[in-house]
Amino acid sequence: MLAYSQSHVYHALSLPAVMQVCETNLETGLTPEEVARRGEIYGWNQLPIQPGKPAWLRFLWQFHQPLLYILLVAGTIKALLGAWTNALVIWGVTVINAVIGYVQETKAEGAIASLAKAVTTESTVLREGQLLQVLSEELVVGDIVLLTSGDKVPADLRLCKTRNLQIDESALTGESVPAEKSIDPLPAETPLADRVNMAYAGSFVTFGQGTGVVVATAGATEVGKISQAMAQRVNLSTPLTRKFAKFSRILLYAILTLAALTFAIGWGRGGSWYEMFEAAVALAVSAIPEGLPAVVTITLAIGVNRMARRHAIIRKLPAVETLGSATVICSDKTGTLTENQMTVQAIYAGGQHYTVSGSGYSPKGDIQTEDHQRCCVDTLPPALEACLMAGVLCNDASLKQIGEHWSVVGDPTEGALITVAAKADLTQMGLVAHRPRLDSIPFASEYQYMATLHDTDPPLIYVKGAVEALLPRCDRQMNAQGEVVPLDPADVAPVVTQMTGQGLRVLAFAQKIGRPHQHAIEHSDLDTGLVFLGLQGMIDPPRPEAIAAVHACQSAGIRVKMITGDHIATACAIAQRLGIATNGQVLAFEGQQLARMDDHALVEAIGSGDVFARVAPTQKLRLVEALQAKGEIVAMTGDGVNDAPALKQADIGIAMGKGGTEVAREAADMLLTDDNFASIVAAVEEGRAVYQNLRKAIAFLLPVNGGESMTILISALFARDLPILSLQVLWLNMINSITMTVPLAFEPKPPNLMQQPPRPPQEPLLTARLLRRILTVSLFNWVLIFGLFEWVEAQTGDVDLARTMAIQSLVAARIVYLLSISQLGLSLGHYLSRRSQSLTPAPVLILGIAIAVSLQVLFSQLPVMNWLFKTAPLTRQQAALCLLPMLPMIPVALLANWLDPSLAKHSVAAAKSEK
């Protein structure tokens, strides 16, 4: 039986002890049979999936809405009274709402699961003496794993062999500098960040090679322990959900009060309790906007689908709207605002300055002199050529091309050196063939340089490293003509200062003639006598689309703050290029400064600062809390394990779908599938469009409920026949409302949407202007329903016909009102007034109106509908009479738009932009 136990302190064990505990062999690894046995007994290398709610419980949870409680109770009472038709229809309405919510939530979870399946990694493993490529999920304790530059560590490993191995563990420890690894045992109490003989799951190999034995997989890894300890947020609380819950509670109390009042007064005035109960149910049903939950869900789902097409996956539907109210976006730098591809942009060689165009690892671009002359292989100045050659030959990286995409295998800095040489037509393959390597000294932090010895006549040594490490070892330099002349370090210092002031990472290059027949190189060979060749300055450049996205945020009144673990000078330089600045100046703070601040000082700093550099992931949580203390709606990006608390605290946590850790993705509300800041801004734009369309839906739905409620209340109080029955109300509120309201969710985004300031976080769902609009249209609907019903009943004595004509007239007037708040109707008005040359296309809106009209024809003309909903067929003259209310609705709609111009202003701007 395997002696493995999670309680073992593997970093404190010797290698033989580790092999004994894990029952494995460093030279041959495990056999396939043993792998299968351990996988069955101890499990595979997959993080345990958080147990979610079962499907039946998630479906039942959709009924957990205050407004639906009333419908469920009303349906139950109807069933107890024997009115099974009414009960089934009422229950059917609640089930439709539940099904819509359940389907959309399931689709969102499916998108997350698909992304998780797409983010899989492979590992090189030694099994039965052979090297194999296997999925990381197939690893077991005791497997021997080989690591090379660029690999993602697949499980927790006790390192057995290392060669210049460096691993980026920032996602776990928060340390931005890669950790140099060794294999010697350590004291048992050694903290996690200092366990240099371990490699932890989720970290990345940045340099060198190594071999390790798997000592923990899946939930037993350090990442897995944090993942399991962090409870998944079950209910997402957003500004929309909070406002909608408050609105629902207020409406619930008002409906119950009015229904009870209607029953009591009507019964007290001599009405039968059954009739008064029917009136109370009808009033409750009429006051509840049954279609609103479905419309909100569908509108949010459409926003989710639009965002997914723009590389943003939303975990919970309400998060869509929250993005639209964001006032601050806190973003990481590397890979989100920048390309995550180091690029040489400036070179100093032979006393001359050169600029480099192009970005990333593609060889497209030029090296130009100060007078803009291109340097190619035939015209390269000798010092520039030597500097470029040193960068390529003193190098352990390589470039890989797949189609049009170039990537680096190895250190990104070394990849940038190969790329810039290729822009001068100096290829790595050609240089290596002419000057093969004999020996090398790898980069080490205590020396700050790398050196290589090459087989030339005589042997040649190339050195690259930090300026402060190389310059004291140089006594001469190569001038523009290729001659070796004395070096004055004072001439180089201003150039270094200039480059670092631009945020560039500066590397120095030198060479030395070796000894005849020299085949090895030692540190002592580099102590003196180096010839200075030049400097190369590089940077991870900002994404072009991120620059435009930052500008769009600023136009929209959203502040962008950069929070990074990088050096403050580099961060400020990138911020300046991106346009993240206050009055043209970048105000920056370092993590050490933040650590010394009290809460009040931190709130002031986060309010005024643009860049926060050298920030540990644990400090991000304080920054988010400080912003929220100022009343900001905060969107926060993160990808590491230690980012998870900040992601959960933020109003919108945004995790990286490509490079982020599983723990960060679990804590986030939104995932970026392309890890690009521009996708965040696109999602903000979609969020604003969703909220605008939601307000249109509310403005369209509630006036009908208001008109129906007032009609039933007045009729009950004055002991009149009800102009509209509860089943007819359900038809209007669900079938007719949904078919006419859902098209509003497809309204195109107006061009000026991102020029408006963020919505005030404290703004209620129903603003005073929106309430004035709803009240105005509700009064018109009440007069229309009540007046037409009374008139037709008086003329014909047919109650069913009067109710049918009142309903059909209301639907006709609704079409005019729908057009008045849609971009189609507003652009039509501008077109007729010759203020626009074209109409806004709205095929979904036209289709919705056509479906609604068709259903209303069936509602009145189909015998089964007459029996079910107590309606009567109409003659042509009666149908034509029902169209007349469309005319008085026109001035009412214009008055509503004047009282509440917020729904029309974006569409008006859109129409004007067409001129």
Amino acid at 281: V
The answer to whether 331 touches 520, Cβ cutoff 8 Å, is no
Q: Angle, nearest 10°, between helix axes 568-578 and 544-555?
A: 70
How far is 561 from 605, CA to CA, in rounded Å? Answer: 12
The pairs formed by 451-455 with CB atoms below 8 angstroms and a separation of 24 or more are 451/394, 451/521, 451/525, 451/526, 452/393, 452/394, 452/395, 452/521, 453/514, 453/518, 453/519, 453/520, 453/521, 454/393
675 counts as catalytic: no
User: What is the 3-class SS of 741-786, one letter each residue?
Assistant: HHHHHHCCCCCCHHHCCCCCCCCCCCCHHHHHHHHHHHHHHHHHHH
Q: Residue holding tokens 């608390």?
A: 645
Q: Give the residues across from 367 on adjacent strands.
A: 356
Q: How big is the CA angle at 134 (ends 133 and 140), to the nearest 5 degrees?
A: 130
Alpha helix locations (H) across 179-328?
222-229, 239-268, 273-287, 291-309, 319-324
SS3 content of the chain, % helix, strand, coil (to 5): 50, 15, 30
Cα separation, 566 vs 591, in Å, equals 10
3-state secondary structure at position 38: helix
The residue to which tokens 């450049």 are assigned? 541
**Which entry of 156, 332, 396, 525 is annotated as an active-site residue?**
332
- Cβ contact 295:741 at 8 Å: yes
Cα angle: 836, vertex 840, 845; to 5 degrees: 145
Using DSSP, state whether 169 is helix, strand or coil.
coil
Q: Find the distance separating the first CA and the last CA of the chain, reported in whole Å.
A: 80
Q: Are 806 and 840 in contact (CB under 8 A)?
A: no
Helix axes 843-861, 799-821, angle to 10 degrees: 180
Q: How far is CA 573 from the centre of its chain?
A: 25
Cα distances (angstroms) measured from residue 166 to each of 149, 194, 221: 9, 13, 20
- The two structure tokens encoding residue 772: 């004035």
Q: How far is CA 894 from CA 5, 189, 372, in A?
A: 75, 75, 62
Dihedral pair phi/psi, residue 163, rounded to 5°: -140, 100
CA 736 – CA 741 distance, rounded (Å):
8
Please give the positions annotated as active site. 332
